[in-house]
Each structure stands twice: as structure tokens, then as C-alpha cells.
Amino acid sequence: MLDEVVIKTESLLKIFEEGKKREVTALNDVSLQIRRGEVFGLLGPNGAGKTTLIRILVGLLTPTGGEAHVLGRNVTADIEYIRERVALLPQEAGIYERLTARENLIYYGGLYGIPEETLNERADELLDIVGLREKEDYQVKGFSGGMKRKVLVARALIIEPEIIFMDEPTTGVDTIGARVVRTLLKRLSSERNQTIILTTHDLNEVSELCHRVGILNQGRLVAVGKPTELEEKFKAANLEEVFTGLVTGEGVYGE
């Protein structure tokens, strides 16, 4: 991991207007820094704001207030620069159902202007890693949920991005597949200094994979740190206790 900060948010605010009277504050005063090569886990219960934060950082949503910088550029001013250098594995949809597994990778990489020969080499390697080589010429629409997730993981990686946002990369993926994905992400961080921001509901995955985690609750960042630091700070036996304590308001002894 390097010292260079590649993601920085300051007092980030996102309010969704629903109709005239209802608003949802999805992110509230979120200030966060993530360094190059770091595997950073975003945790939080359903509706906490994890996907919203990722979508702001890749330019799919504009913040209501505060600032966000990715690779030193402001997401509202310089999103083209950022988009060329980051990849997103979305929580939902985003896959090209009518294309085959291989075509999904090649087409996506082509959008980034990567030469076909390079793409074919990378696709071979990635499809091997995620175990879809034999199915590479099948249309994705017939794939199971976990197989689609694997295609999306491979597709995000084919552009060899500086930063990879993965919104629940292992949800629905079987035990062995999830292990493969985790091993791959660890390698990209340690060998290539790629920065990985992932969300997950699997706290074991977080303990194994993430250098640091940020816990969101109702749009607020309620804790940031190394899993072991948080356990110490909150006098908890494990990350699950930290998480439960912070999110339910029970058993938070730290501060």
C-alpha cells in the first residue's frame, strides 16, 4: 500500500428527493480517505448509503453537498478523467444479457480503447481465473446469478483500472467462487497496487480481505479503521460485535 491518497471525500451529502415532500438523506457528512493499493471495505445495513457513495465516486450520481475527489480530480468537474481509470462492478444489472461471457469482456474493454489483441489475452486469463472458460461462448442471459457476478468481476478487471469499485462482488457466488474472487482481489492490491473499494455483508470476508473498513449507518460514517483497531477501540471480540454495536446502538463502549 502506498501513501498516495486516491479517494477523498469531504462532508459529502446526498439527498434524494422523493416527490415534493419526502426526502431521503442517503449520505450525511461523509469524510473519508483511501490510499493507493488499499482494499477498503464499506459496511453497513441495507439502505445505509454504500451504493450511493460508490455511485457518486464513479460519477453516476451528483452529490448534493460536500466534495469528492478521485485520483486527485473532482468528481463533478473531471469525471471523464476518472471514468477512464476506474472500473465498477455494479450491485445490480449492468451485464449485457445478449452477449456471451467473452463478448461482455471484450465489448466493455473496447469502450476504453484497449486493442483487441490485449483484450483477448486478458479475457483468456480472467475467464480462466473465474472458471468460466468453458462457458465463454454462451449467452449470459442463461447464466445463474453467481455466474453473472463472475462475468461482472472479470469485466471490471479487464481494463486494468487504477481503482476498482465492487458493489457486493461475492453476493450469490458459491463458496469456491467467492474464494477465487477474494484471492484475485488480494493479488491485484498487493502485486499491482490497484485500489479496491468493495461492499459486502460478509464480515468474514472483510476480516480476511480488507486493510481498513468504513461502517456506514443511516448515511453517516460511524467508524473507520483496521478491523483489529476497531475491535480494540470498541472492546469487541470480533468485527461482528463492532458492527452490531454501532448499528443497533447497543454495546458501543469506545469513544
Ligand X SMILES: Nc1ncnc2c1ncn2[C@@H]1O[C@H](COP(=O)(O)OP(=O)(O)OP(=O)(O)O)[C@@H](O)[C@H]1O
Residues forming contacts to ligand X in the complex (CB under 6 A) are 16, 18, 24, 26, 44, 46-52, 91
Task: Tell me the three cell numbers of residue 5.
Answer: 491518497
Total residues contacting Mg ion by CB under 5 A comes to: 3
Nearest alpha-carbon partner for 159 in 136, 188, 183, 137? 188
Q: Of 41 and 44, which CB lies nearer to ligand X in the complex structure?
A: 44
Residues in the chain, how many?
A: 255
Which amino acid appears at position 198 of this protein? L
Interface stretch with Mg ion, choices 17-25, 36-44, 46-54, 98-106 (CB under 5 A): 46-54
Nearest alpha-carbon partner for 57 in 181, 186, 169, 163? 163
- Partner that binds at residue 66, options ligand X, Mg ion, none, CB closer than 5 to 8 Å by kind: none
Q: What is the closest distance, in whole angstroms, from the C-beta atom of residue 45 to ligand X in the complex?
A: 7
Q: Of 58 and 129, which CB lies nearer to ligand X in the complex structure?
A: 58
Instruction: Give the Å distances, CA to CA, from 221 to 44, 50, 197.
Output: 9, 10, 15
Who's near 82: CB < 8 A, 6+ residues apart?
A: 58, 59, 70, 71, 73, 75
Q: Of 11 and 62, which CB lies nearer to ligand X in the complex structure?
A: 62
Q: What is the closest distance, in whole angstroms, from the C-beta atom of residue 55 to Mg ion in the complex?
A: 9
Q: Of 162 and 168, which CB lies nearer to ligand X in the complex structure?
A: 168
Q: Of 56 and 180, which CB lies nearer to ligand X in the complex structure?
A: 56
Helices (H), the chain: 50-57, 79-83, 101-111, 116-129, 145-157, 175-192, 203-209, 227-233, 239-248
Name which position in 9, 28, 51, 189 contacts Mg ion (CB under 5 A): 51
Q: What is the closest distance, in whole angstroms, from the C-beta atom of residue 149 to ligand X in the complex?
A: 14
Q: What is the closest distance, in whole angstroms, from the C-beta atom of residue 38 to ligand X in the complex?
A: 20
Q: What is the closest distance, in whole angstroms, from the C-beta atom of residue 60 to Mg ion in the complex?
A: 13
- Partner that binds at residue 227, options ligand X, Mg ion, none, CB closer than 5 to 8 Å by kind: none
Site residues for Mg ion per CB under 5 A: 50-51, 91
